[in-house]
Structure 1
Amino acid sequence: MELFERDREFSTLNDLLAHTHNGNGQIALITAAVGNGKTALLRKFGEVVRREGCVTLNASCAGAEQKVPLAALTQLFDSPSLEAKDAQRAAELLSEWHRPAGGSAAERPRAQVMLELVRIILDLSRTKTVVLSVDDVHHSDPESLQYLQHILRRVHASRVLAILTERACHNGPHSPLQTELLRQPNVHPLWLPPLSLQGVAEMVSVTAGHAFAQELGTEYHALTGGNCSLVQALLRDRAGEDPAGRTDGPVPGSAFEQSVVRCLASEEPVLRGTARGLALLGDCATQEVLALLLRLPRETVARALHALTVTGILDGTRFRHPATAAAVLGDMPLGERDALHRRAARVLYEMNAPAPAVAAHLLSTGSADEPWMIESLISAADTLFQQGRSVTARTYLELGHRFSTDDRQRASIGIALAEIECRISPQAVSRRVPQLLAALRAGLVPGRKALRLCESLLWNGQVDAFDELPDLLGKLMAVAEPDLDTEAEVIRRLLSSTFPQLAEKVSDVLGRPARQPLTTSALATNNRLKALAAYDTALAGADPGAVADAKQILNGSALSEATFPPITMALWTLVHADRLSEAEVWSDRLLGEAESRGTAGWLASFAWTRASVALRQGNLPSAERHAQAAIGHLPLDAWGVRVGGPYATLLHTVTGMGKHADATGILNRPVPEAMFGTPFGLVYLHARGRCCLARRQYQAALNDFVACGELMASWRLDRPALVPWRSSAAEVWLHLGHTNKAGRLVEEQLALLTPHDSTVRGASLRLLGLTRRPQERVVLLNKAAEMFQRLGRKLELAEVQADLGEAYQALGDSEQQRVAVRRARHLTQECQAKGAHCVALLDVSRDSAVQRHDGMDDKLAHLSDAERRVSELAALGRTNREISSSLCITISTVEQHLTRVYRKLNIQRRQDLPAGLRPRIATRESEQYGAGRIPLARRHA
């Protein structure tokens, strides 16, 4: 057995033994906290005295034998080193002691028995040194302790060395035995402190090796406080680990847990109770709370905490490791633990502790049979919900709902549950809706909470629930209630901008003149109203005032469930206002906060925003990563109707990267039908149309774009900043050679724009330029390029530069053409775009500055528009059937066109079609009339 940092104490015992050999009896009193090596030191020294031929009398006391008279003394005289006659004599005396005593006359015989037992030891010491050791003397029975005090008073002139070990006492500076013994000159107290950092490192080195000892020693010491028993337990856990999965640091396991339990089992009941109370209270534990919980004086609790700190269980008023607290709680009987949780809940409630602290204990008991308990659960749920901890909040509400007997309170809890479940378990809301509507009919729900219910059901796509809501809301709005009109205005504006189909159903109820009209001050101080107004302005063509309001909301709001809606709206205001750098900073900041809280709904929302910012910046890999993360943070049903947003962002991104198989996979995912009655459905339809356009499925793309326009018109929500359906439809018409139709759509879109619609204006100018002659085209394209450059829209800028390259080529300006194409190629590579249009950009950047060989340009010039369109698709590897579908012509017509193309180009098969047939901006015929086809950059977008 190896001892660590016990050399001084071991040396002292050896010195005492030497003095004892010379006839000067000595007493050593070893004191230490539980687990700090008293017994190990005693056993190690026992090996020394046995080697020297001493008579050894040993006893190890235990709390279970504390009420057994003479239990320790019996162990002492049951030593194999006693001669048979001495052992026999001691047994007779102990037997005599146990005889019933009757009155004072019998006390003298017991005193005589004690003197006779003392005489046995003193007689033995005349011929040999006697070493008397008693381990854990504090557990000794009173009768044995009385004998020990007798013998210890008489050993000073004998060859008797007495070694006693005692646990450190928390009741004061000295135990009663210490107080008695320290009066004697031959008593030597020895205190065994916990191991130092170096001592733990030495112990660790025996198992882990010297190379890791110092580094690991720090971690082991921090976890155990230097308690030898706990360090050894950690090392046993390490030895039992699978070497392949072993970590460098300490990992508490079953050995550590058992060691903690044994340490506390050896302590006094007040220390065990203090440790259990501390483990149960967690962060709420203070000396005051512990004293009330355990019904003990604060001074007693303070001494107990100190003793547990010395033991290595605690570090002040906190456990050194969660595994220690778990071991303490796990050792508590279930009934005792439940009772203590219930008492803790009451103590914390009466001390006005935060509601979540009270509720946590109520949840542990599974009971809430008093009104204050239900109120605490409701309050705690609201607090946690605002912090984004929705799952725990729902658990508290479910417990409160189960025990509540008040109908109004149960209805209120039901609405709060629906609000939470819309975020984490939407399928549960469907089952709850009938009960909630019944509560509304019965007038059990206040107006503000009813409006909150409406919002939650809408986001979850529970549109059917709105069939009778107008009538119910009308009745509720007729009842005076503080801030009801403000809440109604929030819902009205939300419906108008996000659920336009439903806005008319409740417009008469929510849009009626308020009993007290909302003041400008009320509108300005309500962040939700301010955020909705700013977002609406951004969609209509953001002005500086909307951006300023959005930034004020973002700067002045701490993230919570209550502030999450206005923060989200403010963030999207920056996005739609083309403040991409600021939106990026805020998205990253909010994502970080959401990650630290672990709130899935917030993570999903901010990841989607971040993906949208990256897409607009042309950082396609980042956009894809964040969009995938957003979708992965929440299940489909938890997204509700909003799922169309991240799906649309991801569709745009993978299409731009040329990942058409990924786009198909996204489009095959189910989406809620109610989504198509919201702007989320619009952006999804638009993104789907762009995917079709990239695949040259022109009719399908046009259908989606036109559907967007029809929906927006029916909702009176025709805002190009939301969905620029006209410019997308114009691209289709350009692909099909209908320049006039494309031009009219773009001009219509330009007429709808405000001076602040920069991105949409830039895209519109670009497309308008593609319908004009080369001279005018260059002017319009340069204006678009300036806008995209200023806004940081790299991918759109790359497309415009490619268009400029072809326009300059048509004008014969080879120098400007090379500059534009070089810029286009650089931007495309920077964006890491790999869609078909980007591949064409890279090809043209390599080939356009040199003349085509073999007179192919002249041959291509003789192709008609129809032949050119068919041959372009064939050069891209499309089948005849795909070409037929894309151009809305028969397969026979495709074959006829290709036959004429082969003859004019003097080739035999479609594999021989020249690279010059890849989509480009102009043929001689189209230049004559101004345009006719979409250029390289957008034709495959």
Structure 2
Amino acid sequence: MSLVERDGDLAAIHEVLAAAVAGRGMTVLVEGPPGIGKTAVLAAASEYAMGLGVRVLTSIGGELEQDLPFAIVRQLLEPPLRAASSARSAELLAGAAGLAAPVFGQHDDTSAAGVAQGDVVYGLYWLCANLAESEPLLLVVDDVQWADGASLRFLSHLARRIADLPVLLLLAGRPGRVLDGLVGSALGGVAPRVVRLRRLSDEAVGVLVRRDLSAEADDEFCHACAVATGGNPFLLAEALTNLRTNGTRPVAAEAHRVEHLRAAAISRAVLARVARLGPDAVGFARALAVLGTAAQPRHVAALAGLSVEAAATAADRLARESIVTTKHPVSFVHPLVRTAVYGDSSSLLHAADHKRAARVLAADDADAEQLAPHLLAAEPESDPWVVDRLEAAAFSALGRGAPESAAAYLTRARVEPPPLARRGPLAAMLGRVLAMAARTIEAADVLREAVALTAPLVDRIQLVLELGFLLTQTGRAPEAVQAAELARGLIAGHQGELSVAMYAAVAGLDLITMQPPEGVIERLDAVVARPIGTSDADRLLLSTLAFGAAGTGGRSANEVAALAERAATGPVPMNEGWMLVNYASAALTIADRLPEALELLDRGLDATSRLGDVWDFRYVSMLRSHTAWYAGRLIEAEGDARAALEEVPGEPRRRNAPLAAAMLVDVLVERGRLDEARQVLEDYEISGHKPTDTVIMHFIPMARGRLRLRCNEPAAALVDLLDVGRFLVDAGYVNPGFAEWRTDAVRAHVALGDPGAAVELAHENLELARVFGAPRSIARALRTLAMIESGKPGLDRLAEAVELLTDSPAELERAHCLIFYGVALRHAGQRILALDPLRRGLDLATRCGAEALAESARQELRAAGARPRRDAVRGREALTISELRVARLAAGGATNRDIAQTLFLTPRTVEAHLTNAYRKLEVKGRQQLSRAIAEPPP
């Protein structure tokens, strides 16, 4: 049936398609009730696109396929991969696109757990980008309200980044709660172009009645058809078929017959037409309705109890009645027809039919994923075979990177229920899968059940640890503490029997939940006393020990550094890499091994980029920001903090966002941009955070206290800083290098006119710093004490600090000490001697990007009678943070595509940053970048 009254709808689609061909991708949602003509509109748009040289890839959602992993994605993208030569397929899956290979079964089954944790949708995005390089793409998804959860993740990811690709994403769905939920979650914040299909007018209905029933149909009869079908094209077509079959004359006198042909009556008419074709046709139609759109004729025949020949005959008869299509594989002509046939049975009969369908498919060696939708619909019967198949389907779904589907299969397997011996392992697997699917509250509940159902000691400890870490990630620290206590209780008395990895995990959970670090260190020392090698588990344990020792300050900086360097030697582990990088880099930073810490963090970022794990990338970026801040590399620190905070509209804000915001506040304060820092506090709602029960969260009130101090709010600043101090000291974290709250609290005491408290705290700070022995911490403590000591004692403190940092990589602290020393010398009447430290401090502050400190140095130089150098307004200093990050990678030989994949940007964004960088640096290409962005010599 040709389209009527759809010219405006198609014109709207053609408009955005033209934009997509020009490289400005977009998402269009065609919305309308069942039968309104969405599929016909999509077909017409696809035909038009092919005429423009656009490659069209199509898919359709199905009620039965909603729990098949990446069902929509595989319909869309598997055909071009399958049709490509091996060389072309390798090109399409090159780089980050290779992360998508598991979706199409191109992976090692033994690595399923690792695949499930990777960001597969990131790889799918790049696969689309690779496909679109040679020709524009039209991706069509019909009946999107039935899309599976894993495919929705991809559609959401693509829709948020599609503007930079020559791709049109054309979706069609039925209005209502399901589609509203899709638009609200998957497309939230995207604002797709919506095309709402309207009912046909009376005039259009008249055109179709006269075309498809009788040219002599009169107006009253046509109006009755419009009223009866509500202007719905499918219902109208079915009504006309029924009228034609019954020999109804299209005249006014027969109009009353039409009024009875409403939707319910048309559904009954479809069933009547099927019944008239005989029992074989009825059986075939019912079997097809159960098996769904992907049914093979032999499976339909087997389920219907027909021979292949009888099934072919039945299919032919149904096709002649426009019940099923003539294409292979056979399907119903419209979902409403399938609904009518499927709805003609009871729910109990449906359940039995689906169980039989699963058996039919299994007898034909179908994989477990094909069986799973039917087993989900079957009645629980305590059947171990069902549990086996659902568990196998879950493993397969994980291998494709679809924990949503795996969770559905395992949840149903537990309802079967499984034999007693398998209930613990199934609960454990489901808990882990729910965590992968970001359903953390459910995951914690199920993991608790798994602990109760698990007897073997090692397995039980492992589950308790996983539960504990999950609870910390969801902000339930008190419960995580309980899990840590349970884990320690289970381990007690089994020293030497458990793996190094398990001891490392228990210690890591203890440290995160603020258990006394001395006890953690004592337990780890007992393990380290045994031979420790270079395995990932050994290195993780060493990094945990280094972190704990750095926090307490009970071992020297050199000892801590030695442990952390051993941990950092070797590749970043695939699974627990974030934890090793976190602990070892923090220990190296506190021990003043700043270049080594940054190098480890850079390797961590590389690892997350290779895996396509955007969330771990942002977490490690946050850690790197803190270390770069320590080192005084403020431009890098700001870039890393902003990378950690980078959000896509509509995506949920992660729990680590406040931490990254605190890092950014610290950097902005040091750069003198106090208004921006205040805005970050407000935007990320961290103005009221208190120290919590997890070790890293003290960064938030610390940063807020520093900002308040710089904004001349010393009383509020002191409250924040002393809160942090009590929290950390009570927990055993006393090393000044771990958290520098004392130095800022001293300044707050001074500002409030309490020199006694300031002196006491400053001496305590210096004493603790000398015990640990990290030059940066000692120099900072000396500088702080010099603030409240006048005359020669203060000058001597500053001279010692400057000497300590002569060759230190902590350039910002060195700049502070030099400038403070110069100021003290000038105030002591030694103007000539003050000039050298002030000039050197100004140069360092400028290199670091510490604008406020640099400006204070300039003022002091002017007061001393010198002329400070002018700021550069072009060149490297003129670049934005993002431009500098992109330029550095480009200078190192990375292509735009490489840079985009490394930094989780779109190629067009990279291109824009590079264009701006070339203009500001006054260079013409990559070959000149290295020299143009090189840091000035010290």
Give the structure-2-normalised TM-score. Answer: 0.49
Larger radius of gyration: 1
Structure with higher RCO (Cα < 8 A, 6+ apart): 2
